[in-house]
């Protein structure tokens, strides 16, 4: 894992790193492989040792929403969550890419009101929910999704809570220079073990900065979240608080029908997992003191989700009950529109961990 | 391009072919490439000469919906379309993966009634439209999508029309053994230049058989559709009829906001394009007598759509006006939820055609 201080903001985006990641996921239909996904994955301990890896774990990736639990550290370790009486459900929402379900939206709204804000303070932009029952409920009332329905609204409520606590103007809290984002940058640098000020940057779907981080360092950050015993005391307490919130309020982290919620429930928090856009997935495994980070090259969620559960299985994080609860995720079947099984998702020929 | 008669129905699906397709599409965000897509593409003439290619053009692919225009040949060249007075809009719907928009659904319904059928004869299964305005209209009425809303309902109406014309029982028209599917198999074999009876098979989302075909032979079939002068006379007339319908009724082939409709309109039918699931795209270019077939390894539509328009540009099919109309497709920009430009889709480093 390399330090990234040689990275600058180029005028022209350089080509992708030429390393070819392994074929880790295949999608079959009938008698053929129909599609295939390449990916990289890293399992790292708190010392930064790469215990298992496939593919280019030094390639820079944007963590996207997969580091929301780390971003929630800003809310908790600053004392903001306690000062504003945040519940576990609210801390879980700060870690969430939620479905925009009614209870999730209501919870974010109530939280914002309690800190003296409203949805007009959210800078994440509006979102029409992807979750169809939530969409149907909105459309039946003649409404569309707003900022509260944005899957990141809980994270943004956390950012606003932190801004309030820091007694800085909330407006512009998504900007790189804002104290909220600078606080999060400091946390991320410490957990990743990298100076990220010169790392390549982009802007996330919800407007916040995204920072290019080597996949292995992202896994290291998750390992340190899983086992923060070398971290400052306040951070240790914050990690434990966030882990508890994700474990006890799994619905708030994602929602109905979502893998993150299923895994958090099935493992009773032994796997603190979080999905990100463009095929990123992270997991912190407190009992093992390990972090997992993976990215599907092509950005597909189906590949990332499949790899995540396969790696949890490989690391023996899933007990019999969890395996039973996650059976459809461990052996995914594709059905067509009349409900017939037509294919499956399976490990690709380059999967090296059997 | 190899004959596929050595393929059988294996009990166990063999691994993907090991050839690594080139990196043809990159997705950037800010200062980095975030995701990347590998793909294969073939441009073939009516003699089966591969004029341009990238990647493994002998790899078997399921054509999915990208060969609907070829399947519509069964409807037209059999005389069924004329016997049942099919309009150009209906022939276009037979070639369509439509949005489930109100006018499309109404047109399929009227067609079915005219041939003495109803939506209960459709064996495609129900679909909730992906096109959001169509979805919203349904939900506001407290309804969900049915078989008429299935993006393949026009194709299935064509199959039912053919069954009626052949005076065979319609039920089971999606099964391999049914005279409708056997008619389509014969057409496909002749256009691809392959005996497909032993080719690997799967089942499509809408229930019909899918047949594994080398990508290059798929392009050959499209070339022969573009220039059918070596084909039987009835097929020549049918190709011309379908080409006219796609050109004159582009909305019926896909719908509002859809690339197929935009390209058909912008090129005034000089590019007869059709998308398929899992990253397949085909084009027939009548003026050039060429066929194009491409597949993104990972099955993503964003990669397939981008490659399709890039190849049309490369083949000089797009005049100034078409380039203007397709500007956002030729140089796609990614925006986040607040409307800010955050990245782009661009050609990957292995694109060999510049």
- Whole-complex ipTM: 0.94
Note the pLDDT tens digit of each residue in A25-53. 999 999 999 999 999 999 999 999 999 99
> What are the residue ranges of helices labelled H in chain B?
68-77, 80-83, 88-94, 102-114, 132-140, 153-166, 179-192, 215-226, 233-248, 250-253, 259-266, 301-314, 320-325, 327-330
Q: What's the confidence (pLDDT) of residue A18?
A: 72
> What are the residue ranges of helices labelled H in A142-295?
153-166, 179-192, 215-226, 233-248, 250-253, 259-266
Q: What are phi and psi of B246, to 5 degrees?
A: -65, -35
Residue that the structure tokens 């782009």 belong to: B344
**Which residue of A31, A201, A349 is in closest CB contact with B9?**
A31
- Closest C-alpha to B308, from B342, B335, B284: B284
- Please report which confidence band the pLDDT of residue B316 belongs to, taking 50, 70 and 90 as the band edges: very high
Q: Is the pLDDT of residue A189 over 80?
A: yes
Q: Is the pLDDT of residue B6 over 50?
A: no
Q: What's the confidence (pLDDT) of residue A47?
A: 96
Please indicate if any CB of chain B lies within 8 Å of the CB of A212: yes
Is the full-model pTM beyond 0.90? Answer: yes
Please indicate if any CB of chain A lies within 8 Å of the CB of B11: no
Q: What are the structure tokens assigned to B292, written together?
A: 């194009």
Tell me which chain A residues have a C-beta less than 8 angstroms from the C-beta of B14.
Answer: 33
- CA A226 to CA A232: how far, in whole Å? 14
Strand partners, B45: B290
Helix (H, G, I), strand (E, B) or coil at A215: helix
Q: Is the pLDDT of residue B4 over 50?
A: no
Report the gap between the CA of B343 and the closest CA in chain A (Å). Answer: 8
Please indicate if any CB of chain B lies within 8 Å of the CB of A31: yes
Q: What are the structure tokens assigned to A45, written together?
A: 């301990």
Tell me which chain A residues have a C-beta less than 8 angstroms from the C-beta of B120.
Answer: none
If you average pLDDT over residues B125-151, what whole number do you get? Answer: 95
Please indicate if any CB of chain B lies within 8 Å of the CB of A300: yes
Q: What's the confidence (pLDDT) of residue B8?
A: 37
- CA B103 to CA B148: how far, in whole Å? 11
Tell me which chain B residues have a C-beta less than 8 angstroms from the C-beta of A201.
Answer: 30-31
**Which residue of B18, B62, B343 is in closest CB contact with A202?**
B343
Q: Is the pLDDT of residue A7 over 60?
A: no
């Amino acid at each position: 894992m390399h330090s990234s201080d040689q990275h600058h903001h180029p005028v022209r985006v350089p080509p992708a790193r030429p390393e070819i990641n392994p074929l880790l996921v295949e999608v079959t239909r009938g008698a053929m492989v129909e599609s295939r996904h390449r990916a990289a994955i890293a399992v790292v301990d708190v010392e930064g040792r790469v215990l298992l890896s496939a593919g280019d774990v030094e390639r820079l990736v944007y963590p996207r929403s997969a580091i929301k639990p780390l971003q929630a550290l800003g809310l908790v370790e600053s004392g903001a969550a306690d000062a504003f009486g945040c519940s576990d459900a609210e801390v879980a929402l700060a870690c969430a890419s939620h479905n925009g379900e009614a209870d999730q939206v209501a919870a974010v709204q109530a939280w914002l009101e309690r800190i003296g804000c409203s949805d007009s303070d959210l800078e994440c932009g509006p979102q029409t929910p992807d979750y169809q029952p939530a969409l149907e409920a909105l459309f039946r009332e003649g409404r569309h999704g707003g900022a509260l329905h944005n899957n990141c609204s809980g994270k943004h409520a956390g950012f606003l809570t932190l801004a309030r606590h820091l007694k800085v103007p909330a407006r512009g809290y998504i900007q790189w220079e804002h104290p909220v984002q600078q606080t999060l940058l400091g946390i991320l640098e410490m957990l990743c073990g990298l100076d990220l000020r010169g790392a390549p940057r982009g802007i996330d779907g919800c407007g916040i900065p995204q920072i290019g981080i080597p996949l292995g360092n992202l896994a290291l950050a998750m390992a340190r979240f899983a086992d923060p015993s070398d971290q400052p005391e306040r951070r240790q307490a914050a990690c434990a608080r966030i882990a508890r919130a994700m474990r006890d309020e799994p619905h708030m982290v994602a929602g109905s029908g979502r893998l993150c919620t299923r895994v958090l429930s099935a493992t009773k928090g032994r796997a603190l997992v979080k999905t990100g856009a463009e095929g990123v997935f992270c997991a912190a495994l407190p009992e093992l003191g390990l972090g997992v980070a993976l990215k599907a090259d092509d950005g597909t969620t189906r590949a990332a989700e499949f790899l995540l559960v396969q790696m949890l299985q490989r690391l023996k994080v899933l007990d019999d009950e969890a395996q039973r609860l996650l059976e459809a995720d461990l052996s995914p079947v594709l059905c067509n529109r009349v409900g017939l099984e037509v294919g499956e998702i399976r490990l690709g020929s380059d999967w090296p961990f059997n």
